[in-house]
Structure 1
Amino acid sequence: MDIADFFDTFFEEAEELLADMEQHLLELDVDDPDSEQLNAIFRAAHSIKGGAGTFGLSVLQKTTHILENLLDYARKGELTLRADLVDTFLEAKDIMHEQLNAYRNEEEPDRETYERICQTLQQIALEEIGTSLEVAADTAPMTSAPAPTEEAPAEAAPVKEEAAATTAAGHLKVALINVDEKDRILLVEELEQLGDIQSQSGDDKRYEVTLSGSVSAEDIEAVMCFIIEPDQIDIQQVAGDDASASAPSPAAAPAEEKAPAEPQKAPADTKASAPDKAAAGDEPAKGKAKKASAESSSIRVSVDKVDQIINLVGELIITQSMLDQTVSDLDDQSIGNSSLQNGMSLLQRNARDLQESVMSIRMIPMEFVFSRFPRVVRDTAGKLGKEIELVTEGKSTELDKSLVERITDPLTHLVRNSLDHGIEMPDVRESIGKPRTGKLTLSARHQGGNILIEVRDDGAGLDRDRLLAKARDNGLNVSDTMTDEDVFQLIFAPGFSTANEVTDVSGRGVGMDVVKRNIQGMGGRVEIQSKKGEGTITSIVLPLTLAILDGMSIKVGSETFILPLSTVLESLQPDKDDMYAMAGDDVVLKVRDEYLPVIAIHEVLDVEDAITDPTKSIAVIVQGEGRRYAMLVDELIGQQQVVVKNLEDNYRKVPGISAATILGDGSVALILDISGLHRLNRAKKEAGKPANTQTMSFYKESEPS
């Protein structure tokens, strides 16, 4: 995969974040600012800063970092907002947009504008808060550094000294281990941009490249880790045969020296990737050829257009189901027509193929998400003084583009949380018999109609007693009898944090509640498993797409409902001897020594003419938010793929219902929300609604042992 693809993704996301920031700033009421809006503005700046740092866009990163710090004071109430301050924030946003466009066009952002806005923001901090804002340091060698100024003359000096030290020490031998030919060619091209290649040889098992120049081993590894794993890189320092051969080439020279030497060079004479500008040298043809090849094999289409096609295909599937139902009715009346039946079978097959093809357009490999984390883990671990090994699994697993974009921020919060709170300091790990280097694993795999994304660490695990104590301090309603699962879910409560002090990594008590809310908004759930001293597994379960759903059609009374097939485990005929009445009208069903809460759908949703005798009903065992339930239904109709229609957009939010669909006969069927039904069932009982006495008479009065 060409690394330029990742830049395109960042540029698109940054454009959207800047647009959101502007909208929130324009809508902000300075006399009574909305905290959610301030948090949204802050998160947008934070996300842009992180991406800019990852790709080495230093000017954009520094500008955004200063603005982010000022926004943090505003959202904490330490900076009183005024109209003129909002105007300054909007000006900063415009300058960030100009910087983004400069990098997109392979140019350097305007230095004078950058210095002016930074000075303005610093002045606001000094006058309004009485403090100076922190400025982010350069995070990557992948773009040219800013020219030295009177305010920061010392910034360039250490870079030159480090380069000289590297040059004097000799060459670097970079070994690529178990890298296929396609990736190897790409990596060698990237190495050409970092220094002068003296020699190269080897095979797919081990390919060695000898490099001279001012680049360090850490810089090479930072670039390579976007394409291959850290354990596929071996970098060693070797003595140079000639000191002059190790001198930095013009292509690798610092930007502050190169800019005066080539003021007449046009931006067009650079390679296609912005971060490679400083090292492009005199090889524009190769970059242009690669870019032209990529353009000839792909086409950029607006997501709105793709969504419109998906919606029309969904309508086509509904129409096909209606026709299929009509043909089935004709066949039942013995007016069968073989040509009509064959035509319908062909239409059904083609419609399904069309649907799958259109849906695949929006599917993106998880590699686009996982590729962002080597640098995140490296930088965060460095700030925390920890040694971390990142392992990724299932990078080829595909997910809908809309979900990929929305899962990145929640996943980043979970990764930073594991690094900060989960994995111990190296000395602590060593003292308890663990390796000094902690292990963080990101994995993705398909699970039925869902995708399962896991963040696993081998750290200290969650401390149940500490979580309960912190919850009580925060005024949360907790008890010692809570299950471990319920206790672990406390970390997602708003404002909940176990950090001893606030850092730039964690401790503010924001983020984890947003993580859970965002994941639930995508139709997913988040689960936590942890064992003290051994580590924590945070699992995110998401549907592959929000447009199509594999469902189980069920009948309750005269109503037809859809259960998401991914939640259905099994179905069985309840036995009277296995059902027990509990205190508070609760009912449980014993299934293989496990007692499952019973949810009678006809009672929860007030469906008339339904079967009330549980022994004549069917118990469908389902799972939601990590818990299992037994749902009583009248009949199982069958499995089918349905087109999901958002109920909130077309009607309103209904408790216990997640969405709706249109069946083959044209009728509307509601898609049930498992966890929502359980909460609705509990709410009705707590409200004192009398239980169905006819149904309750079938249950045993004794409680299970």
Structure 2
Amino acid sequence: MDMSRFFAAFFEESREGLDTMESGLLGMEAGRSDADTINAIFRAAHSIKGGAGTFGFKYISDFTHVMETLLDEARAGKRHLDSAATSVLLTSVDVLRGMIEHAEHGSPLDQPAIDASKRELDTLLTGAPPAAAPVAAAPAPSGPERWRVVFRPMPSLFMSGNDPVRIMRELGELGAREVVCLDDTLPPFGSFDPTSAYLGWTFELPGSVKRAQIDDVFAWIDDQCDLVIDAVEPEPPAVAAPVAQAEAAPEAAAEGLPVQAQASSGARAEANSSIRVSLSKVDALINLVGELVITQAMIQQRAEALDPVLHEQLLAGIAQLERNSRDLQEAVMGVRMLPIDFAFSRFPRMVRDLASRLGKKVRLKTLGEGTELDKGVIEKIVDPLVHLVRNSIDHGLEPPEERRRAGKDETGTITLAAMHQGGHIVIEVTDDGRGLNRERIVGKARERGLPLPEEPTDAQVWELIFHPGFSTADKLTDVSGRGVGMDVVRRNIQALGGSIDIASRANAGSTMTIRLPLTLAILDGMTVAVGSEVFVLPLNIVVESLQPRGDEVRTIGGGDRVLRLREDYIPMLNLAEQYGLGAASGMALDTPPIAVVVESEGRRIALEVDELLGQQQVVIKNLETNYRKIAGVSGATILGDGRVALIVDADGLAQKARLRQAA
């Protein structure tokens, strides 16, 4: 049997377990030392230990066993995990993560760190435990009369290398009796799959057995079976049943199951409805759907010349193909969409450690964690977010004593928020610190000879932060101050088709706002003609299009033009000039044929084009991979007639125009 796939599953599930442990320990440090949290941490450690033992990674299972013992004492109420113990366990999670990396990729082991962590864990175990704090608020019951266990393996249980006989043997050692076989899911004889499990069982165990002992038997396969563990209490004296309880869960009462067990079984069934798929397979599928969209556009373009009467059925089929292609594209793109919590979840630990190093007190808030974003975007936005959060803690938040003098809470707050706005996702990094020092930034800029108006606006001052090498730090540290960072942050965000803005108020804090496209693969676009070329404008940035009168276009100082749009004036750019194509279709520059108004970085600009061609889905092709980076171009696509069309980067064009005006 090829065990490599099981190894891959073990490593992936171990990483998930480590994330669960880290999240739970951080929650405990914040005061959430409830039984559910401790039990979740224990079960994650137990699963890693069991898997490591199964696959022969004894050094991992031995190390995890010490952690597991400590956690078991905590969940049994024998030990209170204070802040020092939590720190030791967090360090142990880091060490264990390195051991998993070594087992998977052969990376070197940090033996001194392993030895030090073992000593700290042993000291916690062998030292006199501090006064135990009760884990659960409710007093421990005297115990059930017996346990009833209903165990139904998933059909795929055998494929993971597990055997129900082992489960029966371990339950037998705990005193299982009255074993009943459940064969209600047995298929007809001709449909048997010899590699699948079909039978289920019920077991009766004595009440003297601890619930944790039963959980341990199923710990390694709890996601590969339907499991109900029912505590059968001694018969109470005959009294009237409470009406509220009887009405709370009639379905559970009808099945003879407790409400809690019923809900747990339903949640487990939902979790088991998912499968693990290699990201390369998803990317290949998305690429094929992209090619299908291109092919569908080709067919549709060829069909436009057909007689609608003679080819009514063919045209109806093509229209149906367009609808199906769009539905398929949306469904496949949904596969890559993940909640941004995948990025946010790594910050609690980072914030905790950095605040400790800098001697600051920091509270992290996250909002909109369920907002979905393309996995590729999430992976690439993590590094810029890390830099912004580190800057907020290091530069933005004041030390506790300084905050007290300013009348603030000595604990500063960093807020990570995500939300949808149109076809974009907006991520905000906010702190309630001292804010940006306008005078200091302006002084540093003039020292370096950076271009700056005599009376710059706040937006123009904040823009200076993004100049390469710009820094106002007095000293260099390993956290910040080397002048390398914000320019790279903006460059990385712009590479994703996004933008970043800064808002700040003195002594109130700063907000960094990032706008990103939802996906990097397919977009709805408006095709426009500029001379003999075709360009694509992302539809989510298009506000309106109009044909302005001559008096609605004005030329201002420096030759720049503005368009009067109702009661406002907005910059107007000629796309033919921007891309070096010459004047647009022989029309006078001050009487443009068509203006398309787009929104860029929260501001509106007008783009001058010759003709509006239509709207269609386009597949984004990376221009840098196939050619090189072009200013004002975010990518390219293949049209239905086989021609290549460039996708307009409105943010880049607007930024270029602002810099020209500032100069």
Match among 311, 314, 327 for residue 337 of structure 1: 311
Partner of 1:456: 430
Whether contact under 8 Å (1:647, 1:653) holds in the other structure is yes
Question: 2:296 pairs with 295, 303, 320, which one?
Answer: 320
* Residue deviations 1:177-204 (CA, integer Å, cap 9, x gap): xxxxxxxxxxxxxxxxxxxx97499xxx
Letter matched to residue 386 of structure 1: K
Per-residue deviation at 1:340?
A: 1.4
Aligned residue pairs total: 480
Matched AA of 1:374: P
Residues 658-701 of structure 1, C-alpha deviations (whole Å, 9 max, x = no match): 222222333332211224435677999999xxxxxxxxxxxxxx
Aligned residue in 2 for 1:669? 645
Tell me, in whole angstroms, the C-alpha distance in 1 between the residues paired with 2:576 and 2:14: 49
Matched, 1:533 2:533: no
Provide the C-alpha distance between the structure 2 equivalents of 1:602 and 1:154, rounded to a whole number of angstroms: 66
Does residue 170 (structure 1) correspond to residue 132 (structure 2)? The answer is: yes
Compute the displacement of 1:106 (Å): 6.2
User: Aligned pair 1:386/2:365, yes or no?
Assistant: no
Report what 2:12 is aligned to: 8
Q: TM-score by structure 2 length? A: 0.63
SS in 1 for 2:630: coil
Post-superposition offset of 1:428: 2.2
Does structure 1 conserve the Cα–Cα contact (< 8 Å) formed by 2:553 and 2:590?
no
Which position in structure 1 is the counterpart of 2:612? 636
**Any residues of structure 2 matched to 1:25-40 within 5 Å, and which?**
none
Q: Does the 8 A contact of 2:430 with 2:511 survive in 1?
A: yes
Residue among 285, 289, 292 paired with 2:221:
289
Q: Are 1:573 and 1:615, in contact at CA under 8 Å, matched by a contact in 2?
A: no
Paired residue for 1:397?
371
Structure label with greater radius of gyration: 2
* CA pair 166-484 structure 1, distance change in 2 beyond 3 A: farther
Residues 1:414 and 2:346 aligned together: no
After TM superposition, the structure 1 = structure 2 runs for residues 539-558 of structure 1, keeping only pairs within 5 Å, are 539-558=513-532
In structure 1, the partner of 2:561 is 587
- Call closer, same or farther: CA 1:377–1:173 in 2, change over 3 Å: same
CA distance in structure 1 between the aligned counterparts of 2:132 and 2:322, rounded to whole angstroms: 67
How far off its partner does 1:366 sit? 0.7
One-letter amino acid matched to 1:588: V
Structure 1 match to 2:585: 609
Letter in 1 for 2:134: L
Given candidates 344, 357, 363, the residue that maps to 1:370 is 344
CA distance 1:328–1:150, change in 2 (3 Å):
closer
Distance 1:684 1:467 in 2: 21
Q: State how far apart, in whole Å, the 1-side matches of 2:597 and 2:356 are.
A: 47
Query: Contact 1:391/1:442 (CA < 8 Å) preserved in 2?
Result: yes
**Following TM superposition, by how much is the alpha carbon of 1:442 offset from its aligned partner in structure 2, in angstroms?**
0.8
2: CA distance, partners of 1:412 / 1:514: 12
Distance in 2, matches of 1:325 and 1:666, equals 11
Within the alignment, does 1:357 sit opposite 2:331 as a pair? Answer: yes
Change (3 A) 1:504 1:650: closer
- Give how far 1:9 is off: 8.8
Report matched runs for 1:388-537 at 5 Å.
388-537=362-511
Pair 1:143–1:308, CA change in 2 (3 A): closer
Give the C-alpha shift of residue 633 in structure 1: 1.8
Unaligned 5+ residue runs, structure 1? Answer: 13-49, 58-100, 112-135, 176-196, 202-279, 688-705
1:301 aligns with 2:305: no
Aligned-pair distance for 1:415? 0.9
Identity %: 48
Q: Distance in 1 between matches of 2:55 and 2:405?
A: 49
Amino acid at match of 2:340: M
Task: Report SS of the residue matched to 1:172.
Answer: coil
Q: Which residue of 1 aligns with 2:624?
A: 648
The 1:381–1:143 alpha-carbon spacing in structure 2 relative to 1, beyond 3 Å, is: closer
Partner-residue secondary structure (3-state), 1:577? helix
Q: Which amino acid is the alignment partner of residue 131 of structure 2?
A: A
One-letter code aligned to 1:302: S
How far 1:493 sits from its partner (Å)? 2.7
Per the TM alignment, residue 546 of structure 1 is displaced from its structure 2 partner at its CA by: 1.0
CA deviation digits over 1:79-133, x for unaligned, max 9? xxxxxxxxxxxxxxxxxxxxxx99998654699xxxxxxxxxxxxxxxxxxxxxx
- Return the alpha-carbon distance in structure 1 between the equivalents of residues 217 and 620 of structure 2: 48
Deviation readout 1:445-467 (Å, 9 max, x if unpaired): 12222211111112211111111
SS of 1:498 mapped into structure 2: coil
Q: Distance in 2 between matches of 1:627 and 1:151?
A: 52
Deviation, structure 1 residue 374: 1.4
In structure 2, what residue type is equivalent to 1:167? P
Deviation at 1:362, TM superposition (A): 1.3
- Residue aligned with 1:429, SS: helix
Check the 8 A contact 2:499/2:651 in 1, yes or no: no
Retained in 2: the 8 A contact 1:527–1:626? no
Shift of 1:387: 2.3
| Cα contact 2:95–2:117 (8 A) shared by 1 | no
Specify the SS of the correspondent of 1:499: coil
Does the aligned pair in 1 maintain the 2:592–2:608 contact within 8 Å?
A: no
- Give 1:257's aligned residue: none
SS at match of 1:671: strand
The TM-score normalised by the length of structure 1 is 0.59
CA contact (8 A) 1:602 1:610 kept: no
Matched residue SS, 1:322: helix
**Match of residue 619, structure 1, among 595, 602, 613:** 595
Match of 2:480, SS state, is coil
Query: Which whole-Å CA distance do the structure 1 matches of 2:565 and 2:393 have between them?
Result: 40
Deviations 1:496-546 (A, max 9, x none): 333333334322332333222211111211111112222111111111111
Contact 1:459 1:535 in 2 (8 A): yes
Q: Return the alpha-carbon distance in structure 2 between the equivalents of residues 51 and 512 of structure 1.
A: 29
Contact between 1:54 and 1:376, CA under 8 Å: does it hold in 2?
no
1:8 maps to amino acid: E
Counterparts of residues 95-106 of structure 1 (less than 5 Å): none
Q: Distance in 2 between matches of 1:150 and 1:558?
A: 67
CA contact (8 A) 2:391 2:480 kept: yes
Structure 2 partner of 1:660: 636
CA distance in 1, matches of 2:110, 2:521: 52
> Which residue number corresponds to residue 534 of structure 2?
560
Deviation at 1:157, TM superposition (A): 7.2
Q: Secondary structure at the match of 1:596?
A: strand
Shift of 1:303: 2.5
**Distance between the aligned counterparts of 1:291 and 1:409, measured in 2?**
33
Comparing 161-170 and 637-646, the one that deviates more: 161-170
Q: Which amino acid aligns with 1:552?
A: M
**Aligned partners of 1:149, 1:313: CA distance in 2, in Å?**
48
Q: 2:570 & 2:390 partners in 1: Cα distance?
A: 36
Q: Alignment partner of 2:313: what SS?
A: helix
Contact 1:6 1:368 in 2 (8 A): no
Give a deviation string over 1:373-415, Cα, whole Å, max 9, x none.
Answer: 1111222222222222221111111111111111111111111
Task: Give the deviation of 1:292 after TM superposition.
Answer: 3.3
* One-letter code aligned to 2:280: D
Shift of the 630–9 alpha-carbon distance from structure 1 to 2, 3 Å rule, reads farther
8 Å Cα contact 1:461/1:532 also seen in 2:
yes
